[in-house]
Amino acid sequence: MAGLELLSDEGFRLDGRRPSELRKIRLRLGVFDQADGSAYIEQGNTKALATVYGPHEVLGGKGKPLHDKVIINCQYSMATFSTNERKNRPQGDRKSTEMSLHLQRTFEATIQTHLYPRSQIDIFVQILQADGGNYCACVNAATLAIINAGIPMKDYVCACSSGYVNNTPLTDVSYLEESQGGPVVTVAMLPKSEQIALFKMDNRLHVDHLEQVLEVASKGCKDMYAVMNAAVKEHVSRMAKSMECS
Amino acid sequence: MTSNPENNSSVEIRPIGSLQSCISKPDGSAVFTQGDTSVMAAVYGPGDVKPNKALMDKATVTVTYKPKIGISGVREKALERMIRNTCETVLLTTLFPRSSVDIIVQEIQDAGALLACSINAACLAMINAGIPMKCTVAASCCMMGKDEELIMDPTKEQTKDAECVLTSAIDSSAHSLIASSMQGSCSVEQYHKLMSVCQKACDKVFEFYREAMERTLSKP
Amino acid sequence: MAAEFKTAQPVEYYKQFLKEEVRPDGRELGEIRSTILNVGSISTAHGSALVKLGNTTVVCGIKGEFASPTVEEPKKGYLVPNVDLPPLCSAQFKPGPPSIQAQVTSQLVADTLLSSNLLNYEDLCIKEGNMVWVLYCDMMCLDYDGNIIDACLIALLAALRNVRLPVVTIDEDTGLAELSSTEDRSLNIVNQFAATTFSVFDDSILLVDPTVEEEDLATGLMTVIVTQDGRLCNIHKPGGTPLSTDQIQDCIGRAQTRAKEICSLIDDTLDSIER
């Protein structure tokens, strides 16, 4: 392994985490009033914001209304100041387009699309600061925003990434770990049914290790689910309380 | 009218000229010149509007600003917004619901006071088109130099070493401020001085509108 | 009932409130929404700030890059401001190229920077005629609820004061720049400024700090930008209801008070961070 030792002899990672430990998660639902649903999530130093508009009538020339299901329109964008090198285009480059498409596919698989024929749901995610696991943060934030908007889903979608270093699988890899060139597996999962909505892998990984890495990633998704579910419950009970008061 | 000489003591506006109905297709058109600055404006309307842009209670006013060279960018968009809102204020848009008034402003030469000249050209073109208006609008530019000297209607050369350049558009009925934009900074007192100079310059423009209309209409 | 009335006849709805000298959100006519400022929250940027003006939220991140200076001004670095109103912040903005609103706001911010003498641009010089800092100031709106100009300028100013640029040394032999990883410096802000936006309702009533509804209903908008020491930096009035000299004087007075408040808010926030 070139340069950095990703895993110390004592079994700790660069930022002091254990291999199976997630980064510190902070999340909030309903951060903005303008949108129908919004959520903010911090996973370590990765900060993402998601807003959902809709379901509303189909606008713009691009999409045609579908008679049997809702159109899901996702846009992923990264703030120009979110990375170490300044990004010239916040969206529209190949990477963001790919990311938007991935998000769209993920949510088409989980939102109950048949409930809103001839309409459209817009999901906008914005990365404010990038430190690895951007896709995961986006999926988690968007899930919370959709729940906040009250759009029915089959289940939560939780995403988590995992890497593989020195025969040890790592959960929730940071930018530093991502950029060392090791394999990174990203999984978006419906935690209750354990169905995988999206699976993505960068670099090569021996097929013998795949099961192990996938295991770790799905464990990460379930942990993520526990945190998100707790936040949603807390948010809802707070809302209920404020409604009682008024 | 005396011209603005290059010495800095001028409280005179540069010579104004205009040419109306200069192009045949639009409903109204005018070229407005102030010194070497020259702008052409054309007005189409009230006419058809795209269904998605139609407003049910008033006319849709659009302004397109064309720079002399190149394609329009952010600066032109800002100018367009300024001219559009100014024209919309003076037009009686409520008379023409679900229709459009399109104004095209073409820069011919920029030698200072471009925004003011554009607003004046647009106003003259609207008068020429005979669209009902609440009142007319005149804009003028005024600058304050390093030694606090005030220059009415400065040239581009003069604005290079200006402390503050003020462009304001004033309506003809109440003489109150419709649009204003400023580069540089000045104290509140200096601002009021600049405004009073702008007022004077605008009065000249109003006078000119009248003369120009009389001239145009008295043609055999 | 109130909601239906508001949707069907927004102007009448507002008039009912304004008759009682109060706005639908409970504010008085001249009251500004509460302003919350947070600086340095984005560690990938050289300077950053997040401003909440009521519901309107703007985040500004500043990143410095090397660039070669212009031939006319070999010692001066420059600032490149940009205002982004992504579709995320409001349903009124569609995906695609920047909206006109965003472009106009960017231009106004750029003009204001030019005319305000905010900082000494020669501070940004690394090597004369060869290398200077260019600071990209990206302001992004996260929640759009009116008065974007005020919020952008507060965010920009706070972010600029939060900027820490690494000290650069130029290697004599190779001519390459080296960034110091330990030493950094802040910018020397000479002249601070703040904007106050007014909207005119029904050709007569002046409202300060309009929300998006008030902006939509407004017959005119005016932004007064004042520097810390009370000098006028811009009176930006893009058309709309004509205003008399007295009204403008009144607005200038209010803007001067507001500018002092904003400057002390920024001072307090930065102090609390450093402590």
So where are chain B's domains? 16-215
Alpha carbon distances (Å) from B144 to B2, B37, B170, C118 = 21, 20, 19, 20
For residue B204, name the pLDDT band (cuts at 50, 70, 90). very high
**Per-residue confidence (pLDDT) for residue A64, from 0 to 100:** 82
Least CA distance to B183: which residue of chain C? C115
Residues from chain B that touch C195, judged by Cβ atoms under 8 A, are none
B-C C-beta contacts closer than 8 Å: 101
Report whether pLDDT(B53) > 80: yes
For residue C106, name the pLDDT band (cuts at 50, 70, 90). very high
- C-alpha–C-alpha distance, residues C64 and A85, integer Å: 10
- Contact call for C86 and A77, based on CB within 8 A: yes
Residues C54-80, mean pLDDT to the nearest whole number: 91
Residues from chain C that touch A131, judged by Cβ atoms under 8 A, are 44
Does a structural domain hold residue C23?
A: no
Q: Least CB-CB distance to C42: which of A53, A124, A129?
A: A129
Write the pLDDT tens digit of every residue in C12-35: 999 999 999 999 999 999 999 999
Helix (H, G, I), strand (E, B) or coil at A217: helix
Residues from chain A that touch C138, judged by Cβ atoms under 8 A, are 79-81
**Per-residue confidence (pLDDT) for residue B11, from 0 to 100:** 67
- Which C residues, 74 through 93, put their C-beta within 8 Å of a C-beta on chain A? 82, 84, 86-91
**Per-residue confidence (pLDDT) for residue B220, from 0 to 100:** 66
The yes/no answer to whether this complex scores an ipTM above 0.85 is: yes
Residues A127-143, mean pLDDT to the nearest whole number: 94
Does a structural domain hold residue C1?
A: no
Q: Chain C: give the shortest CA distance to residue A81, in Å.
A: 5
- Which A residues, 42 through 81, put their C-beta within 8 Å of a C-beta on chain C? 45, 47, 49, 51, 53, 56, 59-60, 73, 75, 77, 79-81
Report whether pLDDT(A2) > 60: no
Q: Chain C: give the shortest CA distance to residue A130, in Å.
A: 8
Report whether pLDDT(B90) > 60: yes
> Under a CB-based contact definition with an 8 Å cutoff, are residues A49 and A38 in contact?
yes
Alpha carbon distances (Å) from C63 to C52, C58, C134 = 21, 16, 8
For residue C122, name the pLDDT band (cuts at 50, 70, 90). confident
Instruction: Just give the CATH number of B16-215.
Output: 3.30.230.70
Residues B91-95, mean pLDDT to the nearest whole number: 94
Decide the pairing of beta strands A37-43 and C47-53: unpaired
Residues from chain C that touch B170, judged by Cβ atoms under 8 A, are 242
Q: Structural domain of residue C121, as residue ranges?
A: 31-274
**Per-residue confidence (pLDDT) for residue C120, from 0 to 100:** 86
Least CA distance to B171: which residue of chain C? C242
Report whether pLDDT(B2) > 50: no
For residue C81, name the pLDDT band (cuts at 50, 70, 90). very high
Q: Least CB-CB distance to A126: which of C88, C90, C144?
A: C88
The CATH number of whichever domain residue C120 belongs to comes to 3.30.230.70
- Contact call for B89 and C241, based on CB within 8 A: yes
Q: Least CB-CB distance to A90: which of C84, C90, C144?
A: C84
**Per-residue confidence (pLDDT) for residue B84, from 0 to 100:** 95
Write the pLDDT tens digit of every residue in A54-82: 899 887 656 688 889 999 999 999 999 99
Mean pLDDT of chain A: 91
Residues C54-64, mean pLDDT to the nearest whole number: 94
Task: Please report all neighbours of A, defined by 3+ CB atom pairs within 8 A.
Answer: C
**Per-residue confidence (pLDDT) for residue B8, from 0 to 100:** 44
For residue C119, name the pLDDT band (cuts at 50, 70, 90). confident
- C-alpha–C-alpha distance, residues A171 and A160, integer Å: 7
C99 Cβ under 8 Å from any chain A Cβ: no
Residues A229-245, mean pLDDT to the nearest whole number: 92
Residues from chain C that touch A51, judged by Cβ atoms under 8 A, are 88-89
**Residue C216 DSSP code:** H
> Under a CB-based contact definition with an 8 Å cutoff, are residues B36 and B111 in contact?
yes
For residue C149, name the pLDDT band (cuts at 50, 70, 90). very high
Domains of chain A: 25-245 (3.30.230.70)
Write the pLDDT tens digit of every residue in A5-53: 788 888 899 889 999 999 999 999 999 988 999 999 999 999 999 999 9
Find which of B75, B172, B185, B197 to mutate to test the C interface (most C CBs within 10 Å of its CB).
B185
Q: Least CB-CB distance to C44: which of A34, A125, A129?
A: A129
Does a structural domain hold residue C22?
A: no
Domain count across chain C: 1
- C-alpha–C-alpha distance, residues C74 and B183, integer Å: 24
- C-alpha–C-alpha distance, residues B13 and B141, integer Å: 9
- C-alpha–C-alpha distance, residues B158 and A185, integer Å: 64
Mean pLDDT of chain B: 90
Report whether pLDDT(B9) > 60: no
Whose structure tokens read 């849709």?
B60
Alpha carbon distances (Å) from B11 to A92, B72, B109, B157, B199 = 52, 33, 23, 17, 12
For residue A1, name the pLDDT band (cuts at 50, 70, 90). very low
Ramachandran bin of C133, using left for φ above 0, alpha for ψ from -120 to 50, beta for the remaining angles: beta
Residues from chain A that touch C61, judged by Cβ atoms under 8 A, are 79-82
**Per-residue confidence (pLDDT) for residue A51, from 0 to 100:** 95
Write the pLDDT tens digit of every residue in C224-265: 999 988 899 999 999 899 999 999 999 999 999 999 999 999
For residue A222, name the pLDDT band (cuts at 50, 70, 90). very high
Write the pLDDT tens digit of every residue in A181-212: 889 999 999 999 999 999 999 888 999 999 99
**Chain centroid to CA C23: how far?**
24
